[in-house]
Amino acid sequence: MSLELLVAVAQIAGSIAVVVTVVFLAMQVRENTKVSRMTGHQMASDGWLAVAHLVAEDPEIARIYREGIKDLRSLSTDDQWRFGALMQIAFASNQNAFLFGEHATHAKKLEDQRANWLVNQPGPRYWWPRARNLYHPDFQVYVDEMFARADANTKETMSPTPEKGAP
């Protein structure tokens, strides 16, 4: 076997090794993306599940949550603090999904649905301005925008429908 033939075989073998390595790396990146999305979804769900567990387990916490969602100001000072703690769990979960959202869009969409429900409730609307500084500045903007969209949607649905023939 000549030296030239040996060099050519080595180059072909090297090229095949590079292609196999690139394919392997692509498979690993795809798998890592799946794991990242699942992790984001889990992070997004943990806080909400914690709140649901507390509410389901303790009738007093359930009462505080139910009344706080309707009107936070109707609660005693101590119960307002308890409601605030429940909101912190829920909003921290939402913040995690928001910050992780670039890698977990499904989890972010799920959190958007949950957060949209919260921002349309009187209790969280009253609570958020008092607690917003506990959260990442980008998340503060995100939640403020959700409140603004909720306000805009409320104005649209509450605006009177023009009667027939009205301009």
Q: For the chain, how many structural domains are there in total?
A: 1
Domain extent for 27: 3-155
Calculate mean pLDDT across residues 88-101.
76
Tokens of residue 6, six digits: 């040996």
Model confidence at 50: pLDDT above 70: yes
In a domain, 161, yes or no: no
In a domain, 163, yes or no: no
Residue 135 DSSP class: S
- Percent of the chain having pLDDT more than 70? 80
CA dist 73 and 106 (Å) reads: 35
CB 86: neighbour CB atoms within 10 A?
Answer: 22
> φ and ψ at 63, to 5 degrees?
-65, -45
Band (146; pLDDT cuts 50, 70, 90): confident
- The burial of 88, by beta-carbon neighbours within 10 Å (0-12 exposed, 13-18 middle, 19 or more buried), is given as middle
Tokens of residue 157, six digits: 């649905």
In a domain, 137, yes or no: yes
CA dist 131 and 16 (Å) reads: 58
pLDDT in tens, 27-36: 888 888 777 6
In a domain, 164, yes or no: no
In a domain, 57, yes or no: yes
In a domain, 142, yes or no: yes
Band (166; pLDDT cuts 50, 70, 90): very low
CA dist 22 and 99 (Å) reads: 30
In a domain, 167, yes or no: no
